[in-house]
Structure 1
């Protein structure tokens, strides 16, 4: 099977009603991004940050995978598919994708503030002050905030370097280091960029741009792959 690697962003979850990370005025759901997505914001007001992510979990529980998620999951019948996602929701997994690399963390996991190696799967939506790890320290959202290292970047680079086909779906390619993954692709493989507003990308060989929603754009990508018998 050929290796198909997808880099997915907020645009793919937007079709499920999940709010995109931030809008044009730098706010996320009415909050200053740095207040709810930075270590400084966490230290300043833990209750605010915990409440913010609690609401994100509630919204995610109500959301359902859309046609874009389902099409990518179904492609596992034809390709060895790896999803590298900038999204923290679990919609790829719920659609049936079996190999998902979360670059920016996972909404339904919590992490020890004392020992970052202690990560816990959450079986509910709520995380509050006083919820502690086995060592007694406060639990925080398992989210990669601004200014923090991206621990899953190395596996993402490895998957990208080994890809036979690479696609970027629903991301502005403005957030690094994820935006740099396109530079790790092999020169001769087909590379798709799918978005309602196709981002500016460096000139690369075999680049195919599709200006459309994630679900319609993925359907067009699949049509092209089959037409070319790739």
Structure 2
């Protein structure tokens, strides 16, 4: 599958993976935009906003409880595991749009979560934050200060953590090879990360069943799922 570029990448040292909902979907986690998306009677693109949260925090928390239930029941797939194993052979960093923590559960040690984490919560007013891996029984939950707690995720219209984003830009701009896996590359600003890699003359590989806006810019495109493709990619480094 990767024979055409085997020689080109055999001495690669710094690899950055940019991952999206597609790789998590292979673990059974529904996507926002897919036909099997959660809560079909709702516009989930509007539920994931601060306006929706303040308008109806109970509804949004019920939706997130459903998402948390799906995520906590899911297991890392062969794509996640292949990325983790690759750390034995190269300096690997994962820049993920996913909030499910499956990369970490698979064993990846360098993961930057661009859109936050569903296991984390934070207060809407004070600086309280915590991790909760069980169902939120009383929705919406309240902070000790009396204000509403919210999922510590980045909603539509909200900026990314500048600390995480600046680190991601630097890492993307320093890598020798970037693998873009399971993302449609339509969500900004994460979809600009390949541009920073390209400016460093990094090799770009896209692994996705469908075309993306940046497919023509890729050095190699593989039209298949991450779970099918990435184990073969890692095996090349194992053999070297």
Candidates 167, 170, 177, aligned match of 1:165: 177
Match of 1:120 in 2: 130
Correspondence list, 1:176-191, <5 A:
176-185=188-197, 186-191=199-204
**Alpha-carbon distance, 1:130 to partner:** 5.5
Of stretches 94-103 and 31-40 in structure 1, the one that deviates more from structure 2 is 31-40
Instruction: Name the structure 1 match of 2:18.
Output: 7
Return the match for 1:137 from 118, 131, 147. Answer: 147
- Are residues 189 and 35 of structure 1, via their aligned partners in 2, closer, same or farther at CA, if it must alter by over 3 Å? closer
Distance 2:210 2:140 in 1: 43
Higher helix proportion, which one? 2
- In structure 1, stretches of 5+ residues that fail to align are none
Secondary structure of residue in 1 paired with 2:138? coil
Alignment CA distance shift 1:208-1:202 (3 Å): closer
How many residues end up aligned between the 2 structures? 225
Q: CA RMSD in A?
A: 2.2
2:228 and 2:136 map into 1 onto residues whose CA distance is 34
TM-score, normalisation: structure 2: 0.85
Greater shift, 131-140 or 149-158, is seen at: 131-140
Does the CA-based 8 Å contact 1:34-1:40 persist in structure 2?
Answer: no
Are 2:75 and 1:64 aligned? Answer: yes
**Residues 74-89 of structure 1: pairs in structure 2 closer than 5 A:** 74-89=85-100
In the alignment, what sits opposite 1:198?
211
TM-score normalized by structure 1?
A: 0.89
Aligned equivalents of 2:65 and 2:187: distance in 1?
24
Residue in 2 that maps onto 1:17: 28
- Structure 2: any 5+ residue segments left out of the alignment? 1-11
